[in-house]
Structure 1
Amino acid sequence: MGEAVEERIKAVLAGVLANGTEPAEIPHDADLVDEYGVDSLQMISFLLGIEDEFDVELDYDNLELDDLRSVRQFGRFVTGLVPAAS
């Protein structure tokens, strides 16, 4: 998994948070819900942003809450969908 995937995920997350958080300030292992308080509407915006950023359709049936716990974990999930993205 490339660090580039995680950086792109952090950029999408920072845009959704819209609170002045810079992508570089988001640790790879930060819990998206517990540390950033991502609510359900923000999560939907985040997932739609990921679909746009990586030009994929997420498989919501196979997406687990644990996949969304950190940038690193979600990066693995996204990389599994788009191996060329890494």
Structure 2
Amino acid sequence: MEQKIIEILSEIKEDEALKDSLTLDSNIIDDVGIDSLQMINFILRVEEVFNKEIDYEKFEFSYLQSINSFCNYLKTI
């Protein structure tokens, strides 16, 4: 799951180098440099790939502190 998240982030940012530079501790906002439109695309792509529905009212920015924390969140829904 974690590697797929990294691949999705790389696709959204159109930056293949991210696949090699991101780690499980990478901050999705700060380290990836994702903007608000890219964030929407990222969330939609994650929902599609993992067949999950993210509840935006319960979603917290703390889930974006690292790729690992985001994956842990996905595993709970």
**TM surpasses 0.5:** yes
2:65 corresponding residue in structure 1: 69
Which of 8, 11, 16 is the matching residue for 1:12?
8
Q: Alignment partner of 1:60: what SS?
A: coil
1:54 corresponding residue in structure 2: 50
Q: Alignment partner of 1:7: what SS?
A: helix
TM-score (norm 2): 0.90
Unaligned runs of at least 5 residues, structure 2: none
Q: CA RMSD in A?
A: 1.2
Aligned-partner Cα distance in 2 for 1:24–1:49: 20
Percent of matched pairs sharing the same residue: 30
TM-score (norm 1): 0.81
Aligned-partner Cα distance in 2 for 1:64–1:21: 28
The structure showing larger relative contact order (alpha-carbon pairs under 8 Å, at least 6 residues apart) is: 1
Count of matched residue positions in the alignment of Structure 1 and Structure 2: 77
